[in-house]
Amino acid sequence: MARVIAGSECWPFTGGASEFEVEGATVRDLIASLDARFPGLGAFVDKRMAFAIDGEIHQDAWFSPIRPDSEVCLIPKIGGG
């Protein structure tokens, strides 16, 4: 299972937990697992967060691979105009 690190933006969904393990072979799978474990978090993450997978930032990358030993950090997306 991948180790997920979530910031305070996610705490209302996780009950304040900032680190946990979740299964998922891709970002899309990980989002589904997050939603199953913490209802509502998957949709929130999909719309508002980017992923740093093993130190590399991915945004809107549903099919980016995640290894079982990966560290995934949930970070707010950067908006621009």
Q: What is the CATH number of the domain that holds 27?
A: 3.10.20.30
Window from 23-27, 47-51, 77-81 with minimum mean pLDDT? 77-81
Domain ranges, residue 31: 2-76
> Are 30 and 50 within 8 A, CB to CB?
no
Is pLDDT at 77 greater than 90 in this prediction? Answer: no
Domain total of the chain: 1
- Tell me the average pLDDT across 46-72: 92
Please report whether residue 70 resides in a domain. Answer: yes
Q: pTM (2 decimals)?
A: 0.89
Please report whether residue 41 resides in a domain. Answer: yes
What confidence category does residue 58 fall into, taking pLDDT thresholds of 50, 70 and 90? confident
User: Residue 29: exposed, middle, or buried by beta-carbon count in 10 A (0-12, 13-18, 19+)?
Assistant: middle
